[in-house]
Chain A
Amino acid sequence: MATPSAYAAPAGLRSGPSAAKIAVWWFLASEIMVFGGLLASFVVFRLGGGRWYDASEHLGVTLAAVNTLILLTSSLTIVQAFAAAERGDEPGVRRGLALTVLGGVAFLGVKAVEYSIEVSHGFVPSAGIFWSFYYTMTGLHALHVLGGVVVNAVLLAAPRARTARRVEMAGLYWHFVDVVWIFLFPLLYLS
């Protein structure tokens, strides 16, 4: 590999957001359109009326509310990790990241419990249009949560790769995952 400076921007010529931040925002813009497409489709169906939405009664609102709390808290802990990184507070960074990873894993665990309860009652993806949307939207979201958990866990486990900027980028992505859930939860669970 050539030396890093070969790829660096001309010194002193640019201010503003870093390349990484710009890249992450463009990436998030495209992701917003993916979930936007799913949510818009769901909303259009909903506006079309019909009794298919009654199936949402079978969802576990309590479990999902707990999950919402878990995810919101984990967004807080990753902000704390970033603040600690900027301060140079290594134990603080590790604590924040560890709690965030824990939160993500807990979210996925609760989701798995929810899915197993629903499947045991026969509410599988092919059980109707509501369940098709429910599993696709929450499933795609869960995959994104998993991705975030992996990124955060890698940062936690590799101190030399763990720059403040990378923690910030991971945090940005994690907030996005949280925001998507903020939309999913009321649309699916609270009619």
Chain B
Amino acid sequence: MTATVERQARHAGFLRTWVFSTDHKTIGRQYLLLGLLWALAGGLLAGAMRWQLAWPDTRVPGWGQVGPEAFNMMVTMHGTIMVFFVAMPILLGAFGNFLIPLMIGARDMVFPRLNMMSVWTFALASLVLLASFFVPGGAASAGWTAYPPLSARAEYTGVDWGMNLWILALALEFASFLMGGVNYLTTAMVLRAPGMSLLRMPMTVWQQLIAAALFLLSVGPLIAGAVMLLLDRTLGTGFFAPDLGGDPLLWQHLFWFFGHPEVYVVFLPPLGFVLDVLPVFARKPLFGHRWIIGATAVAGGLSFVVWAHHMFMSGMDPRLAMPFSVTTILISVPFAFIVFAMIATLWRGSIRFDTPMLWALGFLTMFIVGGLTGIFNGSAPADIYINNTYFVVAHFHYTLFSAVVFGGLAGFTYWFPKMSGRLLSEPLGKAHFWLTLVFFNVTFFPMHHLGLAGMVRRIADPLQYEYLVPHQWLNVVATVGALGLLASQLVLVANVARSLLAGRRAPANPWQANTLEWLAASPPPHLNWGPSLPVVHRGPYEYSVPGLAEDWLPQAAPAGRTV
């Protein structure tokens, strides 16, 4: 339906409508498609890795024997793909593009052609990364963190062009998101509909903007580092080479100065989705909405001064450890506020447990676990033991997975009707949620124990270590969980396919929600609104306002019908 309206409006052909489109909604769908394809790749890599860990040196179905070089490549590419080619394109590229103009009452982004360039740059980055698998020497295998000297000299890994292409793919990806970030921030500053003040913007938009700003301001040093690494590899410069006067730790500082804000770049957008979903399904205002914005800004600012908590054991000056421990633990304060505010939003609510709400609650609970284990990692002396063990792997999967998968699916199931014009099946949705929740915990909870037992990261065969042999059963449990987790996603695929092919048509506002995007048709036509833009009269969280007949009051409604 959208395509027809677009074509009529612009006399455009198939290519202009679906491939070279400047419509933010189409660009959002393109990012989603690319991100989901990479998610399949990243998930299969994880499955292969987990199979090898549980049953070392057996043949992995669909791959064969996983040797140590291949394992390192899988570890590296799984991390790289999930962070840069799944989380960012889906959470920022897809949702940000689709939702920001709709939620602020604009017809599109302020720079539509720049927007199209950004998704095509991302597509190019994807091709470059894909190519890296097929060059001699294979894809990068120095970890997604790419520490030199391992990553700086081909002879240390046996990977040559694969690593160079990895750097180039990341550079292109950064360029794509820099373009997107500039677009999002400028659009929100200049294209808000009449009455849409900054504080009336929904949390989804706020979190996209803060994430975009964090990305713009933190990626620079890593771009510098990536240039240095590429030159070390190709021109023989010595930035990270001690024998030429360089320092391997320089890379770690540059990488993590970006790396820490980056995890918030990934985390904040789905946090925004959940902060918007909770009020809708509890029929209550978001508790402390303005305080939450402030807390996020504080967390974002603090994220620039915690980076060396990834480097406690690195050999940097030990006197730096306690200051960074303090800044790190302080970050838990704004996030504690946000978690408590989310729980308070439910107090005296009228809670409906539709699928988006289940995912939102899953996000909240799993993030609490991940956030709590962060306290172990953030204390330098505790980190002496758990650094580079599976405890860290457990921590970041509980935080990142809760964000990307639980938060992402909260957003996906919530806005699917708007994006596609169809409704998803509730029974399939609930089944998918419970299967994912159970298998997720079966996979990652045992990793806390494995880490405390001393299992180090990035090893291909735990049975090589005598002290790990008695704990191998935990690795088997985690692998069974991982395989179940992967299989469970088929329920989502079935749900989406069924809906797109034969699902019930979605009304404009199936959830009775207040924000502006629900005023537009499902899916919205090209240029989103009819002849005139919506006019905004209030904030986004006016649910269960006393004295009104309905328990919701849209942002653009002139006034509520009183009882």
Seen from chain A, the residues whose Cβ lies within 8 Å of a Cβ on chain B are: 1-2, 6-7, 9-10, 13-14, 18-19, 22-23, 26-27, 29-38, 40-41, 44-45, 50, 52, 125-126, 128-133, 135-136, 140
Contact = CB atoms under 8 A, between A and B. Distances in A.
B220 A30 contact: yes
Contact of B186 (A23, A31, A35, A37): A23
Contact of B246 (A18, A30, A132, A135): A132
A33 to B, nearest CB: 2
B224 interface: yes
Contacts of B231: 125, 132, 135-136
Contacts of B368: none
| Chief secondary structure at chain A's binding surface | helix
A42 to B, nearest CB: 10
Given A27-B182, A36-B220, A19 B254 contact: no
B186 A10 contact: no
Contact of A13 (B10, B186, B194): B194
Nearest to B112: A7
5 tightest CB-CB pairs across the interface, nearest first? A33-B220, A37-B221, A126-B236, A129-B245, A37-B224
A126 B153 CA distance: 14
Nearest to B242: A129
Given A37-B221, A41-B224, A52-B245, A23 B235 contact: no
Given A27-B178, A32-B220, A34-B224, A19 B190 contact: yes
A96 B225 CA distance: 36
A133 B108 CA distance: 43
B190 A33 contact: no
B244 A128 contact: yes
B247 A37 contact: no
Contacts of B237: 125-126, 131-132, 135-136
Contact of B191 (A9, A26, A27, A44): A9
Contact of A30 (B10, B216, B239): B216
Contact of B9 (A2, A27, A44): A2
A41 B254 contact: yes
B28 to A, nearest CB: 17
B154 to A, nearest CB: 15
A8 to B, nearest CB: 9
B74 interface: no
Interface residues of B, number: 48
Contacts of A31: 220
Contacts of A129: 238-239, 244-246
Given A22-B189, A26-B216, A125-B231, A37 B223 contact: yes
Contacts, number: 127
Contacts of B236: 125-126
B110 A19 contact: yes
Contacts of B108: 6-7
13 contacts: A2-B527, A7-B108, A9-B190, A9-B191, A10-B533, A23-B110, A23-B185, A30-B178, A32-B220, A34-B224, A36-B221, A132-B231, A136-B231
B218 interface: yes
B193 A2 contact: no
B216 A29 contact: yes
Contacts of A34: 220-221, 223-224
Nearest to A48: B247
Nearest to B216: A30
A26 B194 CA distance: 24
Contacts of A22: 185-186, 189-190
Nearest to B110: A19
B220 A132 contact: no
B227 A136 contact: yes
A1 B527 CA distance: 11
Given A27-B178, A125-B237, A33 B217 contact: yes
Nearest to A36: B220
A35 B246 CA distance: 19
A23 B111 contact: yes
Interface string B19-59: 00010000000000000000000000000000000000000
Contact of A33 (B107, B218, B247): B218
B237 to A, nearest CB: 4
A52 B257 CA distance: 26
Given A129-B239, A135-B237, 7 more contacts: A19-B190, A23-B183, A30-B219, A33-B217, A34-B223, A44-B250, A125-B235
A33 B116 CA distance: 25
